[in-house]
A = this chain, B = another copy of it.
Amino acid sequence: MPNGTNPMDTADKEQLKLERLQSTLNRAYKNVPFHRKRFESHNLTPQAIGALEDIEKLPFMKRADLGLHYPYGLFAVPLRDIVRIHTAPGTGDRPSISGYTQADLLIWKKLVARSLNACGVTDMDILQIHLPAGLANWGRDYKDGGELLGASVIPNSMLSLSKTLMVLRDYKTTTLVTTLAFAEQLTDHMFERERHPNELNLKRIILVGEPVTKDIVKDLEARLHADIWQHYGLSEIPGPAIAHECGDHCGLHICDDHILPEIIDPATGQTLPAGTAGELVLTTLSARALPLVRFRTGDMARLITEPCGCGSPFIRMEWLTERADDYMIISGIKVSQEQTAVYLKQALGISDPDCDMERIRLNGTEALGISLVLDDALFSDEIKNLEQLMFTTERSLTENLGVPVTIRLMQKRN
């Protein structure tokens, strides 16, 4: 029987999870008014949670809750115990903030190290991180996890494509952590220049930010002569490497000793039976600074309860390409269409802009393309001003969303 999956271990693990959940809920209830009010509004106290399943009694947290309690309203420890503050674009005007204590950082470092190790990374590896600015927080976490394993880490830096390729080749990188968008861009760049992947020492690419289909994985592996591994993470909260593929590549193992997963029906909020596809909901089991209770990720997944051939004790999920919310994923960064419409309205100064949004390629990189219908409100300005307005709007949205934005004007719809 594979290591770590015998019944006693499983019972121990379930007991550990329950104890951690109860401790998390106690701390959240005691230290965070937001959580206490939610318990009270359901006539509950943490004592009502006597089993893992009892978590279903509690209400969900949404992305918007993070912005509403900006900046520090959801922290469950005094600010002096916080040693790192990460900022991510929020769902409103205000960014969402996550905080870490020293103990939190150590746990996340270990989880990232575990996830890297599951892909075969050791102290013999040279690990290069290439993530867009919007995922800089993950870059720091991968650096910390890689260092803990003793790998030689080349931290994230905003190098151009050709410089990144130079570093990949000259530094003899064995493991690249990046997004699908960048991996594809890199591949195209190499083939256009007739460079061969054999010039590289690359053994594996770890893709983060969005689920990648088997066909795309196969194609990339064939073109780059490297194995592809997927990691799942959240940019708003604790970090990357919440789930990772093992050598069997049959779903992603969730680090469920520290993060409790549930699958719900996104329409009704009902918990779904194991094996059914639905929205992934996560509860932190050890985070001290920023506990999350039933956080709706918007990501769609299916839990796989059968033991994995690799012997890992961690439950698996199949990460699905659909979404339970209106977010688009651009270069691995989540962009809310609803929020984008709000920013667009503000930047243009008109009440109800009519537009379509899609993910496009702009000079090789992924971008948000907005097709804006030219209506009378926009025509009240002269064309010269309109051009200027489009320029400042693109800049403002690019900054607020953390991804490149380009606006195309189109005639009225038929």
Contacts and interface: CB of A to CB of B under 8 A. Distances in A.
Contact of A147 (B72, B84, B137): B84
Contacts of A105: 147
Contact-residue size bin, chain A (C-beta under 8 Å from the other chain): 35 or more
A405 interface: no
A162 to B, nearest CB: 9
A83 B171 contact: no
Contacts of A159: 87
A123 B85 contact: no
Given A83-B150, A124-B80, A147-B84, A157 B136 contact: yes
B71 A170 contact: yes
Contacts of A97: 171
Given A124-B80, A152-B82, A170-B70, A87 B147 contact: no
Nearest to A398: B160
Interface string A53-83: 0000000000000000011100000011011
A83 B151 contact: yes
A42 interface: no
A interface, over-half SS = mixed
A152 B70 contact: no
29 contacts: A70-B170, A71-B170, A71-B171, A72-B171, A79-B126, A79-B152, A80-B123, A80-B150, A83-B147, A83-B151, A83-B152, A84-B143, A84-B147, A84-B155, A85-B153, A85-B171, A86-B155, A87-B157, A87-B159, A87-B167, A94-B170, A102-B147, A102-B150, A105-B147, A133-B158, A136-B155, A140-B140, A140-B143, A158-B158
